[in-house]
Amino acid sequence: MNGASREALAAARERLDALTDNTSVDAAKLAGELAAVTALLDREVSLRRVLTDPAQAGEAKAELATRLLSGQVGGETVDLVSGMVRSRWSYSRDLVDSLEELANTADLTAAQKAGSLDDVEDELFRFGRIVASSTELRAALTDRAATASAKAELLRGLLGGKTVPATERLVVRLVTQPRGRSLEAGLESLSKLAAERRDRMVAVVTSAVPLSDQQKQRLGAVLAKLYGRQMHLNLDVDPTVLGGISVRVGDEVINGTVANRLDEAARRLAG
């Protein structure tokens, strides 16, 4: 996002934080309602365009949103969405993307309040690895011919009772409302959003054998010093790396595996 949309999203994040700081607000319920509004505006293109039309007065757009949503969702959600449509958006799609982010953030906030945000981060990563290792599961979850309810039922069977509630809600929403993204991209986006709730970055660490607690603490400290922020480690074991570790932070890869060094030596010999 850029320009007006970036400013509008920043303002909406502040309003969401103010709402969820209130102990009387059910963050999980708010997340579900924001997700429902996201789905509505994603589906109703003409409505989305009206609500983001720069030629229309902000107050008129807020009144329209209030009339449409009152009685369908709670007052907090109505107020939040009305405030968002008062703002200017560079593109109508940015409003929907921002609503989706706020819905996910509200669910992560619910997990944070319950003391289970670390669990959500770990479970999202583990689920991603399971999907990556099972072509059948990935095919079932991304099958365009399958209904959203069938996919949700499959996921609830896989995750129900095995993950914290917020993880299940986030994954079900991602799979049933992909909005043009790949499953992998959506999971990575959720992981980053979860890390940001603690002002931490995510490092995907691949090693031949599991790291000890001491090794994890040492690596986390080194990466935090290197990047200037606390680091959440998503740990993956892959025997094919032979030895050493590979660390990916965003688009940057620090590869110190034996397999990589062997590949590099082979390339030099071939050259």
| pLDDT tens, N- to C-terminus, the chain (271 residues) | 788 999 999 999 999 988 887 778 899 999 999 999 999 999 999 999 999 999 999 999 999 999 999 999 999 999 999 999 999 999 999 999 999 999 999 999 999 888 899 899 999 999 999 999 999 999 999 999 999 999 999 999 999 889 999 999 999 999 999 998 899 999 999 998 998 887 766 788 888 888 888 888 888 888 888 888 777 787 888 888 777 888 888 667 887 776 666 566 556 656 5
| 48 Cβ contact partners less than 8 Å away, ≥ 6 residues apart | 41, 42, 92, 93, 95, 96
Query: 175 and 152 in contact (C-beta within 8 Å)?
Result: yes
SS (H, E, C) 127-164: HHHHHHHCHHHHHHHHCCCCCHHHHHHHHHHHHCCCCC
Q: In angstroms, what CA-CA distances link 12 with 83, 86, 178, 210?
A: 8, 11, 22, 41
CB atoms within 10 A of CB 164: 20
Ramachandran assignment for 245, one of left (phi > 0), alpha (psi -120 to 50 degrees), beta (any other): beta
Q: What is the DSSP letter of 24?
A: T
SS3 label, residue 80 = helix
Distance of CA 192 to the CA centre of its chain: 6
- Give the pTM: 0.76
CA 142 – CA 199 distance, rounded (Å): 31
Q: By C-alpha distance, which of 25, 163, 202, 168 is closest to 106?
A: 25
* The pair of three-digit structure tokens given for residue 53, joined into one six-digit string: 């039309």
Residue given tokens 């090794």 in the structure block = 215
